[in-house]
Chains A and B, each alone.
Chain A
Amino acid sequence: MSQSAPTKTQRPLSPHLQVYKPQMTSVLSILHRMTGVGLTVGLMLFAWWLVAAAIGPGAYAVFMNFAGSPVGMLLLFGFTLAFFYHLANGIRHLFWDSGLLFKIENAYKAGYAVLLFTALMTAATWYCVLNKGPYASPSVTATLTAAEAEGETR
């Protein structure tokens, strides 16, 4: 009997990631990491912005032109969303690091507060940007036109 080929024992398997119902706590946790990586990509835009400003008005206008383009605005909107989410949820994490908000209902309440803060702050920021910011201001329209003119002459 011991000489026969070992039969495969049916051991119980631990439930894997895909069989879990997504919970707010786990979804917000993975979103924290995803927005963190997203913000890292945003740092490249941030670096482009500063380096362009140091190079001069031409390079700065190219950046501003990109920032005003649909792709640029989409990236910046994502950056704003990720920024406010990561900021608020990071503060939630700092509470946990200090041993607070561990009761499951408090973890959930703080989670909803994070989502509300993210939505409100992103909306408020873009309300200001679209109504008072570069897309509404004559000086940047001038910068953008200058960039376009520069692009045409090249």
Chain B
Amino acid sequence: MNMKWDNHGMKTPLARARGLGASHAAVPGWIRLRVTAIGTAVLSLWFLWFLSQTIGTSHAEFTAKLADPRNAICMLLLIIAAFTHAVLGNREIVEDYIHNEFFKLSKLVGMYLFFFALATACIFSILKIAL
């Protein structure tokens, strides 16, 4: 399990330091988590406005509002940003607290598959309503 630590004899100190965090690939994930955080934060303000317009309306009124391209596009962007952020955030927690490689990988793979399926269902639903 620890083979990966054993062959860094020829590496520069920087190359050795890279990828030594719990995730073994920190920087791109770190940036993506922040970018999706900003995206989700901005889009959730739109989402609050959208809810205030649609909450308590009938199914027909709700789907008509969601079918407006501006709303449908914002909703799609929100789903992409929020689901990516959720997966990355949960991944950070799993990597910090689950130390057994096998359980860590099973948890991550299961999580990716589940949220990819959930996000796809959401995207398909919006397209079905809007198109």
A36-B90, A47-B118 known; A54 vs B129 contact (CB < 8 Å): yes
A139, B122: Cβ atoms under 8 Å? no
Report the separation of the CA atoms of residues A91 and B2 in the bound assembly, to the nearest whole angstrom. Answer: 37
Report the separation of the CA atoms of residues A53 and B37 in the bound assembly, to the nearest whole angstrom. Answer: 27
A128-B52, A134-B56 known; A87 vs B86 contact (CB < 8 Å): no
Chain B contacts with A in 63-108, Cβ cutoff 8 A = 63, 66, 75, 82-83, 86, 89-90, 93
Report the separation of the CA atoms of residues A136 and B45 in the bound assembly, to the nearest whole angstrom. Answer: 23
Q: Contact string, B102-120, partner A, CB cutoff 8 A, digits 1/0?
A: 0000000000000100110
Question: How far does the Cβ of A146 sit from chain B's closest Cβ, in whole Å?
Answer: 9
A133, B55: Cβ atoms under 8 Å? yes
Report the separation of the CA atoms of residues A143 and B54 in the bound assembly, to the nearest whole angstrom. Answer: 14
Question: How far does the Cβ of A93 sit from chain B's closest Cβ, in whole Å?
Answer: 8
A40, B86: Cβ atoms under 8 Å? yes
Total number of B residues with any Cβ neighbor in A under 8 Å: 34
B59, A60: Cβ atoms under 8 Å? yes
Question: How far does the Cβ of A137 sit from chain B's closest Cβ, in whole Å?
Answer: 4
A33, B63: Cβ atoms under 8 Å? no
Q: At the interface, yes or no: B17 with Cβ under 8 Å from chain A? A: no
Write out the residue numbers on chain B whose beta carbons fall within 8 Å of the beta carbon of A107: none
Q: What is the interface of chain A, defined by CB distance below 8 A to chain B?
A: 33, 36-37, 39-40, 43-44, 46-47, 50-51, 53-54, 56-57, 60-61, 83, 87, 90-91, 93-94, 97, 125, 128-129, 132-137, 139-140, 142-143
The 13 listed contacts between A and B (C-beta, < 8 Å) are A36-B86, A36-B93, A37-B93, A39-B86, A50-B122, A53-B129, A57-B59, A57-B60, A128-B52, A133-B56, A134-B55, A137-B56, A143-B59
